[in-house]
Structure 1
Amino acid sequence: MITAQKNQISATLAELYNDAKYDYLKMMKGAAKSIFGPMKPEDFKEAYLSISEDQGVELVKLIKENDLQHIVEFGTSFGISTLFLAQGALETKGRVVTTELIESKGKRAIENFEKAGVADLIEVRIGDAMETLKDHDERIDLLLLDGWKDLYQPLFQMLEPLFHKDTFIYVDNADMAESRAFLKVVGQNERYQLEPLFNGKVVLIKVK
């Protein structure tokens, strides 16, 4: 059963990555708006902004090797990273809670989860993550930060009481200025161990 579900996830991911190949112009269109003002999430409502396949494979490995079950994601987009999380959760009998600001993206992601046959493993919360996750009260084994970078710090602080020894926080786009500022603050706390991955694009934080 798990093998069949994993194959279904892999097929859906292949389709999404194929679509993402034609996503560059949408990303550039969104980025171009920053010339006339600050970038906003709405500027990228049609862009995939996905993690790489190599990152996805490593995420699955991390979940399986550490038996991570309670997974929270900030930044669903169209659900590529979420599907990798679900693939790992299949092995650990876990679940994924993911949040997406843009309603149209959240709805597309739900369709992708249904196509992949893992919608029952994923709870999608649409809206501002500071609101959709503020009442979250389950322990967090893995937190994936892959949304708007200025929310990394406040979201981390809000969810911090739910961390435990051996919780992992996976920080994507760690090489961006706001991410670096956030990581500098976290790195000053002896409770956390930081490990750069993928040439610094990702930083994995482990709770000691």
Structure 2
Amino acid sequence: MTHTLSDPRVEAALNQMFGNAAHDDETAARRGAYETWDLATPQAQADAAAEIYMPISAAGGQLLYNLVRAIRPGTVVEFGTSFGISTLYLAAAVRDNGTGHVVTTELSKSKIDAARRTFAETGLDDVIIVLEGDARETLKDLGSADFVLLDGWKDLCLPVLRLLEPRLKPGTLVVADDVELAGLQPYLSYVRAPENGYQSVTFPVEDGMEISCRL
């Protein structure tokens, strides 16, 4: 049985983007992207990282695909589109489920333009809604969130989660990437504290994914 991840258009797009992402360190050094990072606003960070992919791993993408296939969420919410690697895995699962859509958010206009071209070229643009701007604003009026991927700026993952919490039904999965990064530690402390209403486990792919079930 075939599935959307094996579609030649999707495979080609993912291979190309992962290949480009392999040069992220060189790109960041050339642009001096991280020189004043700690003092920059989220928009300034997005502008500085406009050519940097910062992707999930292929294994992480496959994990996301399997989770979405199993859960069959109506609305998948992604914080941090970048060039759309993780979005493709989410959208492929939604397409194969035959129901649902992906709402993804991004600050960088150039990344949004590139991602939209990729979504159209892979034939997945009809199940993806791209919101441009700060997720703390663009997601305010979201109707529901049945599966959440947090992969934007790490210090904003907790504020975005808190924004979405009123929309999270019991059993909703929230996944955060890069558990080894220092900026994600306040988020991890929150979802790992039982009194905040999550059962959380770290899944060992690349820099780690935290999978938290809303109780």
Q: TM-score, normalization: structure 2? A: 0.88
Aligned CA-pair RMSD: 2.2
- Please give the alpha-carbon distance, in whole angstroms, between the structure 2 residues aligned to 1:28 and 1:175: 21
TM-fit CA distance, 1:5: 7.6
Query: Cα–Cα, structure 1 residues 204 and 31, in superposed 2: closer, same or farther, change >3 Å?
Result: farther
Is 2:11 the counterpart of 1:10?
Answer: yes
C-alpha deviation, 1:27, in angstroms: 2.8
Match of 1:101 in 2: 107
**Contiguous gaps of at least 5 residues in structure 2:** none
Cα distance in 1 for partners of 2:127, 2:5 equals: 12
Deviation at 1:13, TM superposition (A): 1.1
- Partner letter of residue 51 of structure 2? E
User: Is the 1:5–1:117 Cα contact (8 Å) retained in structure 2?
Assistant: no
Distance 1:51 1:41, change over 3 A: same
1:174 to 163, 171, 179: 179
Aligned match of 1:122: 128
Task: Tell me the residue number matched to 2:148.
Answer: 143
Q: Is the 8 A contact 1:69 1:94 kept in 2?
A: yes
2:61/2:86 contact within 8 Å kept: yes
Determine the structure 2 residue equivalent to 1:206: 213
Amino acid paired to 2:153: W
Count residues in correspondence. Answer: 207
Tell me the CA shift for residue 134 of structure 1. Answer: 0.9
Q: Quick one: which of 182, 190, 193 aligns to 1:185?
A: 190
Following TM superposition, by how much is the alpha carbon of 1:36 offset from its aligned partner in structure 2, in angstroms?
8.1
Report the identity percentage.
Answer: 34
1:48 aligned counterpart, secondary structure: coil
- The code of the aligned residue for 2:203 comes to L
Q: Secondary structure at the match of 2:35?
A: helix
Shift of the 64–3 alpha-carbon distance from structure 1 to 2, 3 Å rule, reads closer
Mapped contact 1:6–1:87 kept (Cα < 8 A): no
CA-to-aligned-CA distance 1:82-129 (integer Å, 9 cap, x gap):
000001111222200000001111111000101111000000011111
- In the aligned structure 1, how far is the partner of 2:158 from the partner of 2:72? 26
TM-score (norm 1): 0.90
Which whole-Å deviations, capped at 9, do the CAs of 1:174-196 have from their partners, x for residues lacking one?
A: 22222112211222244201110
Identify if the C-alpha distance between structure 1 residues 151 and 35 changes in structure 2 by more than 3 Å, giving closer, same or farther: closer
The alpha-carbon deviation at position 70 of structure 1 amounts to 1.2
Question: In structure 2, how many angstroms separate the alpha carbons of the residues matched to 1:16 and 1:58?
Answer: 18
The change in CA–CA distance for 1:109 and 1:164 in structure 2 (over 3 A counts) is: same
Aligned with 1:34: secondary structure? Answer: coil
- Aligned partner of 2:83: which letter? F
**Per-residue displacement from partner, 1:146-192 (whole Å, max 9, x unpaired)?**
00112111111111011011101110112222211221122224420
Structure 1 residue 22 displacement after superposition = 2.9
Conservation of the 8 A alpha-carbon contact between 1:144 and 1:169: yes
Q: Residues of 1 paired with 2:32 and 2:169: CA distance? A: 37
Report matched runs for 1:21-170 at 5 Å.
Answer: 21-29=22-30, 33-34=34-35, 38=39, 40-92=45-97, 93-138=99-144, 140-170=145-175
Which 5+ residue runs of structure 1 have no aligned equivalent? Answer: none
Q: Is the 2:73–2:100 Cα contact (8 Å) retained in structure 1?
A: yes
